[in-house]
Amino acid sequence: MTDVGLPGLNGRQLADQAREIRPDLKVLFLTGYAENATRASGFLDHGMEMIIKPFAVDALTTWLRAMIQGSDGSGDGFKVSNWQRRK
């Protein structure tokens, strides 16, 4: 789990480096940016998902549990709209 915006390198670059060691690593990106802008640019790869801030903690735990249990992997398996966001 990593934020998209990091100092130095971005979250995708961090994930790519981590996948050099663990190619099957599942990655959940957190971002405050618009979902469509990041998805449209091909930012997500197989086994990568994204949750948009702000989000409820229970949504995050549910999302992580589903990824760990293998319910992800398509790069578009979860939709942000499926999760209730904090107002």
What is the tens place of the pLDDT at every residue in 6-58?
888 889 999 999 999 999 999 999 888 765 656 667 778 888 888 888 889 99
Which pLDDT band, with edges at 50, 70 and 90, does 5 fall under?
Answer: confident
pLDDT score recorded for residue 78: 45
> 34 lies in a domain?
yes
Residue 60 has pLDDT above 80, yes or no: yes
For 40, the token pair is: 């449209």
Q: Which long-range contacts (CB under 8 A, 24 or more apart) does 6-15 make?
A: 12/43, 15/48
> 9 lies in a domain?
yes
- The structural domain count of the chain equals 1
Q: Is the pTM of this model over 0.85?
A: no
> 21 lies in a domain?
yes
Domain containing 45 equals 1-54
User: How many CA atoms lie less than 13 Å away from 19 in the CB half-sphere?
Assistant: 16
Query: Which residues, including other chains, have CB under 8 Å from residue 64's CB and lie 6 or more apart?
Result: 1, 28
